[in-house]
Structure 1
């Protein structure tokens, strides 16, 4: 860090004020392989600075962040600063071939960005297919210098809780069509539900002192699943979501989807002892594909100094829900409301654009054919993930799109507009569409293109995301880069504007960067397109992302310098191209070009 110059200003004859002192927080991230052993198997893992999870970045609101990324891995690399708004700084968003050329092996690149106007829990991760499973870490923004502290009781300690997955194979060798993880993790540890030749795997241990308050900064860094988190004998008071304060909400369970973060207070008010902390992945019931149920558990233990139990005592276990119980997630997210706070803006009442987006699976014919056999077992078609029956496909380009747009080196006519509505209207939540069959096959045909939507600067955009039952019935955590979204309402079944507008919360809706679209349901969000650049909107389930559930939201420049994207940093051209982000068969967007 370096200091800032402080000047004393005399107000009349009695008051001296000192301006805030922002800092530059600097890190070096070395991305490389290392071998780790779990479940009796040594696995090659991609990590940052030899750590899993990676190093924490801790800053104060108003600070600047500088991260030097040194790529010692065999793959092209970028880092995305998940939830950082990057106001007038789309260049640092870290999406390969969209905002920058990826960092080639044995090369480096420096990210520079500010964290002004935000406070709370965010995170960072690789934005390369699958690699974020192990290349990720927490980003904590504390209230600014001289600012009032948290709008909740001061915690005794702040504790990151990062939920993830363990893959017993090199993640670069994963076949996204059939693979699933080998275990779940809490802070990189598998826990004692897993063993190697009878020896229990180590679990995360959280030691507490009786009567103290702890702030848990919870992140779901998993590729595949939403998780339910519980601690036996204790309750959570949720106080923030995606670095935005919410009205304190007390619950015994947190439902957190990939990409989301929640801040929750836990009071150590139980009898001194040991209590299991359990993270359980949920999934839709049959006829959807059923992956193994692989929870992780750690232990909350009261300190021995304060009369904690002996380490040999069996910890108390929480009663976990059925892993198919999606209603708990629906109610958890529906109970969140915005906390009145100086940083929070009112919901914009004027709407400039409305978009209705269906989310699901579909198929395209291989080798560019116009017709083909469809269904699960067809070798003639390729399963894709879609938005309004279109799957994102980035063409072969040698220049990142943001760079090309800024310098007008390409008019990008090949971008295809994301339509206001899907091309076909049907009963989107019809359960009979989940399994393959004649009814479902008629709705499968999809197209692939570089899907984009342009917005004028300052436009107020309302998006209704509609989950569908087409070939699956999963929920979808939709993440918008560069902006926050007001979550106005959610519901089950098919969205009906005439009926559902009355359900909108226009007073205190939660504000997030990642919104969970419920299984066989919908969610309505609103955002202001006030950050010029090219921003990713995508599902944070990794396989949905790699299969094409992506669109580019392009925000045009405003009328002034302060509302226009500035010139790129001098070192933005870290040379790479779209074809060698990962081996082709694992980067499904590029398959069968």
Structure 2
């Protein structure tokens, strides 16, 4: 039987869509109740000859895979046996009318204290594809994370692409020898020298790393010749965007962030932290062994430089004794020595990777994605109710007083900003979602996110990257509890503009509770008069995490149809810790069915003091009103 190559697979994807739309749907299976228990604890793991204490779920790194079917209900019992406060965020799960389960400490809930537990309950209606879960406490998501897979209600046969032989999560991460809570504290203090020591694929460092002559284990993916595999790729790293390649093979990208895309054939996948990509791979190379390599990219100098983190797994062909393949099978046999090897020897074939400082490969990868029209995908909203331009960059605040030395002085702290304001939590011990729901005085501390940056300048001027007189004029910033209120059902257009102040990093911007239509991207400064004409209003990709390119911009739209208090933040952990964050508050709609219901009865509570007595009265009054309405 002749094997398909990747372009043929791409054509088959289109044919599968036509077939799907022209046939009657198979009766759906009944929704199920999926239940998991997550025990968060610490354990010692040894890599590179060093034992490190890490915080994990159920003793696993990555953590357990949650597999559900669209429409299922999910209950995850989190038992916190660690010494840290914990929350779990279900990254990309929209949590429709259930913001209480979004898992952001002091935004949507009080954290789960050590030796306490809490059960997250939510539905996964209206979504299918690859998402993931992770801790939203300090930097602990570096080891507290795992895949969250939502399959179609009508089974794998209803995928808008050929049914794969197997589906495999591929989780790209990092290995840290430092305590991750200390890393977060360092970021909060503007200390940016902490870094991981290795990259990982499915928790393994790979044989690019060795200690005292012994190489690290690498993840091994066994494949059968001619079979098609669906790789569900997740970037769970704290620090870097990664390029992923498999020597001798191509990918057909079919989904991103649990939204189907028009099939796109490429030899490289680019993923920022937070992003997911589903890609088909056909085992159509000569049987042997091939490296799967993940390489971290970074901005070139004069940006600060870190080591070139890379890791590799191995794709190994099983013996194929079918007619016509026996000779190939004999030539690639592993033999008694366990060598195996690629077509020309025992050493796996390695792919040619992009340069570490090549950020254009990422720009083109993200720009080549378009949506596959699907019954679940609404049209792009044509009317826009609110427009915002948000600059993303670095700045500094004084440690004491309003005047200080900057440009790296110990008198100032480097912070990350949105429209030149760095986010900090209000001092209230009531989470913002509860304060919003019960209309307490804690909401008075919020500062409105401006529509525009306070100062217009050449945002992408590379001369602003190094410390100096030109950069120093733009460095001073402020801190505040940034928030923006939106009426229910509004269409919001955001332009994220990257800046070059002190660094020129890309920014993966993640919006909780909503997906975003990615209308356009560009390099340099956004120009509304010029760039609106470039908007894709027909089939833009739909993402929950949007990659804002290095010293460039991205324009998105989303509809505020999910009431609650939602986090919007950069998914580089150092940018998040340093304040590149805002809170989007979506008001209730006009009916009970479009309004946020009350919190669960077993919701975690925080400690309260006498100064919060007035807020407690408001909360109890609102609870009484809710009970009365429900009783009627």
TM-score bin, normalised by smaller chain: over 0.9
Partner residue in 2 for 1:180: 195
2:385 to 352, 376, 385: 352
| Residue 68 (1) aligns with residue 77 (2) | yes
Deviation at 1:414, TM superposition (A): 1.3
| Residue 319 (1) aligns with residue 352 (2) | yes
- Measure, in 1, the Cα distance between the counterparts of 2:603 and 2:479: 29
Partner residue in 2 for 1:538: 569
Partner residue in 2 for 1:474: 505
- Measure, in 1, the Cα distance between the counterparts of 2:282 and 2:256: 19
Conserved in 2, the CA contact under 8 Å of 1:155 and 1:213? yes
Matches within 5 A, 1:461-540: 461-540=492-571
Partner residue in 2 for 1:78: 87
Deviation at 1:145, TM superposition (A): 4.1
Matches within 5 A, 1:234-383: 234-304=249-319, 306=321, 307=329, 308-310=332-334, 311-312=338-339, 313-367=346-400, 369-376=401-408, 378-383=409-414
Deviation at 1:173, TM superposition (A): 3.1
The answer to which of 31-40 and 141-150 deviates more is 141-150
User: What secondary structure does 1:91 align onto?
Assistant: helix
User: What secondary structure does 1:413 align onto?
Assistant: helix
- Partner deviation per Cα, 1:46-87 (whole Å, 9 max, x = no partner): 000000000000000000000000001111000000000000
Deviation at 1:380, TM superposition (A): 1.3
Structure 1 unaligned runs (5+)?
1-14, 578-593
- Measure, in 2, the Cα distance between the counterparts of 1:511 and 1:392: 26
Deviation at 1:572, TM superposition (A): 1.1
- Partner deviation per Cα, 1:100-126 (whole Å, 9 max, x = no partner): 000000000000000000000000000
Partner residue in 2 for 1:568: 599
- Measure, in 1, the Cα distance between the counterparts of 2:540 and 2:369: 8
| Residue 118 (1) aligns with residue 127 (2) | yes
Partner residue in 1 for 2:118: 109
- Identify if the C-alpha distance between structure 1 residues 207 and 149 changes in structure 2 by more than 3 Å, giving closer, same or farther: same
Partner residue in 1 for 2:219: 204
Total equivalences in the alignment: 560
User: What secondary structure does 2:441 align onto?
Assistant: coil
Deviation at 1:304, TM superposition (A): 3.0
- Measure, in 2, the Cα distance between the counterparts of 1:60 and 1:309: 39
User: What secondary structure does 2:93 align onto?
Assistant: coil
- Measure, in 1, the Cα distance between the counterparts of 2:27 and 2:555: 44
- Partner deviation per Cα, 1:401-430 (whole Å, 9 max, x = no partner): 111211223261210000000001000000
- Measure, in 1, the Cα distance between the counterparts of 2:417 and 2:300: 21
Conserved in 2, the CA contact under 8 Å of 1:46 and 1:134? yes
- Partner deviation per Cα, 1:168-225 (whole Å, 9 max, x = no partner): 2222333432111010000000000000100000000000000000000000000000
TM-score between both structures, scaled by the size of structure 1: 0.93
Conserved in 2, the CA contact under 8 Å of 1:101 and 1:576? no
Conserved in 2, the CA contact under 8 Å of 1:190 and 1:201? yes
2:454 to 423, 431, 434: 423
User: What secondary structure does 2:158 align onto?
Assistant: coil
- Measure, in 2, the Cα distance between the counterparts of 1:485 and 1:500: 18
Conserved in 2, the CA contact under 8 Å of 1:109 and 1:574? no
Conserved in 2, the CA contact under 8 Å of 1:103 and 1:576? no
Deviation at 1:374, TM superposition (A): 1.1
- Measure, in 1, the Cα distance between the counterparts of 2:554 and 2:112: 36
User: Which of the pair is proportionally richer in helix?
Assistant: 2
Partner residue in 1 for 2:142: 133
- Partner deviation per Cα, 1:530-568 (whole Å, 9 max, x = no partner): 000000000000000000000000000000111100011
Partner residue in 2 for 1:554: 585
- Measure, in 2, the Cα distance between the counterparts of 1:18 and 1:529: 32
- Measure, in 2, the Cα distance between the counterparts of 1:238 and 1:73: 38
- Partner deviation per Cα, 1:289-308 (whole Å, 9 max, x = no partner): 11001200010000135525
- Measure, in 1, the Cα distance between the counterparts of 2:354 and 2:607: 46
- Identify if the C-alpha distance between structure 1 residues 500 and 19 changes in structure 2 by more than 3 Å, giving closer, same or farther: closer
| Residue 443 (1) aligns with residue 474 (2) | yes
TM-score between both structures, scaled by the size of structure 2: 0.87
2:439 to 408, 428, 436: 408
User: What secondary structure does 2:443 align onto?
Assistant: coil
- Measure, in 1, the Cα distance between the counterparts of 2:449 and 2:519: 22
The answer to which of 300-309 and 219-228 deviates more is 300-309
Deviation at 1:371, TM superposition (A): 1.6
Deviation at 1:282, TM superposition (A): 0.1
User: What secondary structure does 1:304 align onto?
Assistant: coil
Cα-Cα RMSD: 1.4
Deviation at 1:434, TM superposition (A): 0.2
User: What secondary structure does 2:196 align onto?
Assistant: coil
- Measure, in 2, the Cα distance between the counterparts of 1:205 and 1:229: 15
Conserved in 2, the CA contact under 8 Å of 1:21 and 1:145? no
Conserved in 2, the CA contact under 8 Å of 1:76 and 1:576? no
Conserved in 1, the CA contact under 8 Å of 2:118 and 2:604? no
User: What secondary structure does 2:444 align onto?
Assistant: coil
Conserved in 1, the CA contact under 8 Å of 2:167 and 2:230? yes
User: What secondary structure does 2:575 align onto?
Assistant: helix
- Partner deviation per Cα, 1:361-412 (whole Å, 9 max, x = no partner): 0001112x11211112x12111000000000011222111111211223261
- Identify if the C-alpha distance between structure 1 residues 435 and 576 changes in structure 2 by more than 3 Å, giving closer, same or farther: farther
